[in-house]
Amino acid sequence: MAKLDHGILQGEMTGWRRQLHANPEFGFEEKRTAAFVAAKLREFGLDDVTEGIGGTGVVGTLKRGSGNRSIALRADMDALRITEQGDHAHRSRSPGIMHACGHDGHTTMLLGAAKLLAEEGGFDGTVRFLFQPAEEWGKGALAMLADGLLERFPFEEIYGLHNAPGLAIGRFQTRAGPFMSAEDNFEIVLRGVGGHAARPHSGNEVLVAACALVTNLQTIVARRLSPTDIGVVSVTELLTDGTRNALPGLARILGDARSFRPEISAAIEKQMGVIVAGTALAYNVTAELSYTREFVPLVNDEALVQEALTAARTVFGDDGVAVAREPMTGSEDFARFLEHVPGCFAYVGNGEASSPLHNPTYDFDDEGLIHGARFHAAITRQRLRPA
């Protein structure tokens, strides 16, 4: 087969990515995005394109040769409920929604890989292209799995990429074993008796108790976990029914906790319950704790990490590939696939000057698109190497 001009492909991918960026959709609402993806896959000549997997997910299948092995490549499609502050021409046209995590770039890199592999071949077996909905709130992978993904589109191993602000374009990182953390969510509801701001003694307001609780929660990691264990407890919201001259009788504290081992997650929940109950008693209010587990730890397969590093060196060069020294406390529902098949999740650079993920000024750097597409193609050819 003729070799695809990567310069031309880079230009095409830039156009696709900016179109997706301008038209972001929240999780399980990615109808235009999914339709765009499916249309491109059919245009590339894939053997099968199935829509509606897990709600709005898309699975493309490409077969070459007579090999019976299969692998999967995965990208996420959803955006975040963030109002974009960028001023570029392709900024979001959907008020209050933007691609602040680079899923537009991830989708585009996988589309580029599909075109590369469809036109150039170079592998013997089956590759599944998984375009997943609703990664941001940890439900999309589970939805695809519940919809019979593994039974309908079987594969033996899986690979995925995420962009990394702060890492230079043309750089690649991963590590074996625990790579990204679990994410637990919590909500604490405090109830007392609100009243006039001038007469705090006549009621039993909850704001002071809530502020004490926010501070006390910080002792869980500092004083209840071993310094050798990784844990994070973050309060992200404190909401009350008070106003300028009225003390609140209701307060809600929301946040999340990160860890890499189930026993650490359990310890955080247990100690949080002790602190919530003790603080409520000390301030003579009532308190309820709700604690849920949303993301599981992402654990890369050791052997397939080595395969990914080898494939990455053919794309990024020896100097562009590194083993991450430490796991990361961000979470990824790619981990749900790894509960069923071995695989490797990795990071590619989005530039040292890139805005952080989930920031209203963030934008995926189009220069990195071709690197991601080439890695997807390289790992496919390496793992489905013709006899």
Quickly count helices (H) and strands (E) in the chain: 11, 16
Residue 147 and residue 29 share a domain: yes
Distance separating alpha carbons of residues 119 and 112, to the nearest angstrom = 11
pLDDT in tens, 193-217: 999 999 999 989 999 999 999 999 9
One domain for residues 291 and 302:
no
Task: Dig out the tokens for 271 from the structure.
Answer: 């100690």
Task: Give me the pLDDT at residue 275, please.
Answer: 98
CATH number of the structural domain spanning residue 363:
3.40.630.10
Percentage of the residues of the chain whose pLDDT score is greater than 90: 98
- For residues 196 and 308, the answer to whether their CB atoms sit within 8 Å is no
If asked whether residues 34 and 115 sit together in one domain, one would say yes
Answer whether residue 377 is part of any domain.
yes
Residue 227 domain-assigned (yes or no): yes
Q: Is there a single domain that holds both residue 169 and residue 54?
A: yes
- Give the sign of the dihedral formed by CA 219, CA 223, CA 228, CA 229: negative
Do 224 and 129 share a domain, yes or no? no
Of 84, 96, 134, 103, nearest to 17 by C-alpha is 103
pLDDT in the model for residue 309: 98
303, pLDDT greater than 70: yes
175 Cβ contact list (under 8 Å, min separation 6): 300, 305, 323, 324, 325, 327
Position 1 scores a pLDDT of: 63
Last residue of some domain: 267, 295, 323?
Answer: 295
Which burial class, exposed, middle or buried, applies to 245 when counting CB atoms under 10 A from its CB (0-12, 13-18, 19+)?
exposed
Query: Is 78 inside a domain boundary?
Result: yes
- Containing domain of residue 169, as a range? 6-178+297-383
Please indicate, yes or no, if residue 1 is contained in any of the structural domains: no
**Least confidently predicted of 130-134, 201-205, 211-215, 353-357:** 201-205
Domain end marker among 251, 274, 295: 295
Residue with tokens 């949303």: 294
Structure tokens at 384: 């489905």
pLDDT value for 374: 98
pLDDT in tens, 241-272: 999 999 999 999 999 999 999 999 999 999 99
Same-domain status, 103 and 162: yes
- Residue 221, Cβ neighbours under 10 Å: how many? 21
Mean pLDDT across the chain, nearest whole number?
A: 97
Give the mean pLDDT of 312-329: 96
Average pLDDT on 99-109 reads 98
For residue 381, is pLDDT > 90? yes
Residue 243 placed within a domain:
yes
Given a cut of 80, whether residue 306 has pLDDT beyond it is: yes
Q: What are phi and psi of 133, to 5 degrees?
A: -85, 165
CATH code at 286?
Answer: 3.30.70.360
Total tally of structural domains belonging to the chain: 2
Domain boundary among 239, 273, 295: 295
* 39 φ/ψ angles, rounded to the nearest 5 degrees: -65, -40
Q: Mind listing the pLDDT tens digit for each residue in 11-28?
A: 999 999 999 999 999 999
Contacts of 228 (CB under 8 A, 6+ apart): none
> Is residue 2 scored above 90 in pLDDT?
no
Q: Does residue 315 share a domain with residue 168?
A: yes
33 occurs within a structural domain: yes
